[in-house]
Amino acid sequence: MLVLLKPGTPEAAAADVMTRLRMAGLAVHRTDHDGRARIAAVGDASAVDWAEVATWPGVDTTQKLARPFKLASRAFRPHDTVVQVGRCGIGGRQLAIMAGPCSVEGEAQAFAIAEAVAKSGATVLRGGAYKPRTSPYAFQGLGEEGLKILRRAADAHGLAVVSEVMDTQQVALLARYADILQIGARNMQNYSLLREVGHSTKPVMIKRGLSSTIEEWLLSAEHVMAQGNQQVILCERGIRTFETYTRNTLDLTAVPVVKELSHLPVIVDPSHGTGIRDKVAPMARAAIAAGADGLMIEVHNDPDHALSDGAQSLYPQQFDELVAQIRTIAEVLGRTV
């Protein structure tokens, strides 16, 4: 249920409402909008007399949160969430540009790519240290050594870091090096992992699962938020359909749909969405035009010899040209890079 307090309700009265709801066995979350508190009370709502709640001091109205994703819905939080990461507020006026290699392969590679993407306008360096690969014989990443390299390369060029966490035992380790904990598409419904990152103080980016609906995607965000971590970013990276020409089918309709349903920022990954280098730029431009809050782009200084995802990685010069194009589109939309 959603409990709306009257404008100007004293903090003591608001705290009393939340305490009484907790005593009824409900999990209580608060946000403020247009000068008044909005309290989401989640749990067994049938155990509470809501007609009586409406008479409590400070309470204006109560209403049902109809969506299964309560905390991620605009009914709870009408205004956009902005997740501050380094120099960029993701979800705000500035578009977030996350770029870097699929995998950290070594110090020289990471530093060269970090320098290139930073010069072009990226604010976040992406790179995998632990790689979930379909084949057990494929490159699995450099582990903690890769994270150390990624962190140093990012710091050297004023960038934040996003990297994937694969299981619950890695969360504390990733949190030492990364500014954003990425949940990969294969782990979108790994509920133990979602709950664990929900206890972290680091922002969490959830990639949409290969065969997941928008509602399932938002419910994955709900698992994180229900544990107390409200810093959630969604990433559309393509879904699996009958089409085989591209690696995945990049569902750009998800961007305006999610922006209507939820207050959470939405990033688009056209690299995994297409899997084809020359298709990345047009889909990146389309993503920004569709209302995305940023992009996640794979960039490699020698993609033909990359240890993973070379075919979809842009050369630094191609990335530089793309960011220039994104700046033009952003200006039309009243946004910046």
Instruction: Among 89-93, 98-102, 132-136, 196-200, name the one with the lowest average pLDDT.
Output: 132-136
The verdict on 150 and 96 lying in the same domain is: yes
* Tokens describing residue 208: 């949409």
Residue 189 in this model has a pLDDT that exceeds 90: yes
Q: What is the CATH number of the domain that holds 171?
A: 3.20.20.70
- Structural domain of residue 42, as residue ranges? 2-63
- Residue 138's pLDDT is 77
Q: Is 337 contained in some domain?
A: no
Q: How would residue 202 be classed by pLDDT, with cut points 50, 70 and 90?
A: very high
Condensed to tens digits (0 to 9), the pLDDT of residues 137-160 reads: 777 788 999 999 999 999 999 999
The answer on 26 and 166 residing in a single domain is no
For residues 29 and 225, what is the distance between their CA atoms, to the nearest angstrom?
10
Tell me, yes or no, whether 96 lies in a domain.
Answer: yes
Domain with 31 in it: what CATH number? 3.30.70.1140
**Token pair 């946000």 in the structure block, residue:** 31
Q: Tell me the backbone φ, ψ of residue 166, rounded to 5 degrees.
A: -100, -25
What would the two tokens of residue 288 be? 């920004």
Contacts for 256 with CB less than 8 Å, ≥ 6 apart: 290, 291
Do 40 and 186 reside in the same domain of the chain? no
How many domains does the chain contain in total? 2
pLDDT at 260 over 90: yes
- The total of other beta-carbon atoms located within 10 Å of residue 44's CB is 9
222 and 132, same domain (yes or no): yes
Query: Where does the pLDDT of residue 306 fall: very low under 50, low under 70, confident under 90, or very high at 90 and above?
Result: confident
Rounded to an integer, what distance in angstroms lies between the CA atom of residue 182 and that of residue 197?
A: 10
Q: What is the mean pLDDT of the chain?
A: 94
DSSP 142-153: -THHHHHHHHHH
